[in-house]
Amino acid sequence: MSTFRPSRRGVLTGAAVAGAAGVGAGLTAVAARPGQATAASRTVAFHGARQAGITTPQQDSLVFAALDVTTSRAGELADVLQRWSAAAATMATGTPVGGPGGLGGAAEEPPQDTGEAHELPAANLTVTLGYGPSLFDSRFGLADRRPAALEELPPLPGEQLDPTKVGGDLCLQACADDPQVAFHAVRNLVRIGRGVVRVRWMQLGFGRTSTTSSAQSTPRNLMGFRDGTANLKAEDTSDLDRHVWVGGQGAPAVDQEWMRGGTYLVARRIRMLIEAWDRASLGEQERVIGRAKESGAPLSGTHEFDALDLAKTTAHGKPAIDVAAHVRLAAPQSNGGVKLLRRGYSYTDGLDGATGQLDAGLFFIVFGNDPAHQFVPLQRKLGSQDALTEYLKHTGSGIFACPPGTASGGAWGEGLFG
């Protein structure tokens, strides 16, 4: 990727011009030197029918924060959500919090913007908000606004959750093609919320492990396999309606109107036992996943996007895709047609102090309109039958209701707080 970074002013001017010319829907190309237009010099609109950061073509970097609300006043929380919306919308255009002069101001006061994203392009920044089940306890009078689908996840087989990486009243998922832009967004929102919210846990992700648009190439996860081949994509609109959007055509009935057009986010911090994986033979690795490492093709086919043929057998009469292979067990045809929108990231947090082994893996994020009948049964099955489970440890977890998007000038929290 080019290292050319147009000035934030240049980005804005270019965005306005390109927007007027009708480039893209939501995504706006901006001015760059000839031949140097990069994905990092684009913007994604904050406002819209859906929240950005769900079907948006997946960016390269993630900062995910789960937060707790520390006030007991609903009005203070609603106020923060409003201020967050304004700041997130501003940052999505590559403008500092507080506007173009956000780094300046009175010498005796902190500037409104922390400054580290100044002169960086907007880098397709998106910030997505979610509400955790605990937000609907007795503190804010929201108990009867909780959608039935927003239930704490039940215990799942083999998980070894770290209690410091679980739950949260709220979540913020910031994604961008520049890690500093994603970090800047969360840092500034946390700063705006000081006294009302505080970070409970956080995860940085450094490389996408999925594709959410058919225009994107399939990346590789830290096991070295292509990941995201059979994912739902933004172009699969009828599948997204059925499996992802609350109230979509073919989706379960809506019990809370404020969630219509939203979705549920499940996050799982999944550590890979990398040292064990790296000692496994190529044949074993491919058997475990059910796909070829180099091409990403299913072991029943030749090319990456060939459909899985679960009935195919080898010359020795064995299933071409092993009975315990990850893709066999996870595929919709093995799960009553359940489909998910995966949007995960690779992570590393250095070494595990207890064992001296790498603490690295996949921060798995998945969107769906019915987690209790999608993620939960699927993970129950994977956790007990999937050959991949031997190389994994689920260490963090959360479930959040992501409301629909907001109209221009609107704010997060409007639907929930009425």
95/221 with CB nearer ligand L6N33NVT: 221
For residue 117 the two structure tokens come to: 């994203």
User: In terms of CB distance, is 367 or 417 closer to ligand L6N33NVT?
Assistant: 367
Contact flag: residue 300 with ligand L6N33NVT (CB under 6 A):
no
Q: Examine residue 234 and tell whether it contacts ligand L6N33NVT (CB under 6 A).
A: no
Under 8 Å between Cβ of 348 and 360? yes
Q: Using CB under 6 A, which of 63, 65, 125, 308 touches ligand L6N33NVT?
A: 308
Q: Of the ranges 3-11, 254-262, 314-322, 378-386, which one interacts with ligand L6N33NVT (CB under 6 A)?
A: 378-386
Nearer to ligand L6N33NVT, 81 or 382 (CB): 382
DSSP H stretches of helix in 264-406: 274-279, 282-289, 326-330, 375-385
d(CA 160, CA 396): 8
- Is residue 227 close enough to count as binding ligand L6N33NVT by CB under 6 A? yes
| Residue 340 binds ligand L6N33NVT (CB under 6 A) | yes
Query: Any contact of residue 345 with ligand L6N33NVT (CB under 6 A)?
Result: no
Cα distance between residue 63 and residue 181, in whole Å: 10
223 binds ligand L6N33NVT (CB under 6 A): yes
Contacts of 399 (CB under 8 A, 6+ apart): 132, 133, 150, 151, 152, 153, 264, 265, 266, 267, 371
Q: Is 213 in the site for ligand L6N33NVT (CB under 6 A)?
A: no
User: Minimum CB separation from ligand L6N33NVT for residue 300, in Å?
Assistant: 11
Please give the span between the terminal C-alpha atoms of the chain, in angstroms, as a whole number: 44
**E strand intervals along 352-404:** 358-368, 392-402
Reported as type and span, the H/E element at residue 196 is none
* 233 interacts with ligand L6N33NVT by CB under 6 A: no
Using alpha carbons, list the distances in angstroms from residue 320 to 125, 157, 223, 294, 313.
42, 27, 21, 17, 5
- Would you tell me which residues interact with ligand L6N33NVT (CB under 6 A)? 221, 223, 225-231, 268, 270, 272, 289, 291, 308, 326-327, 330-332, 340, 361-362, 364, 375, 378-379, 382, 392
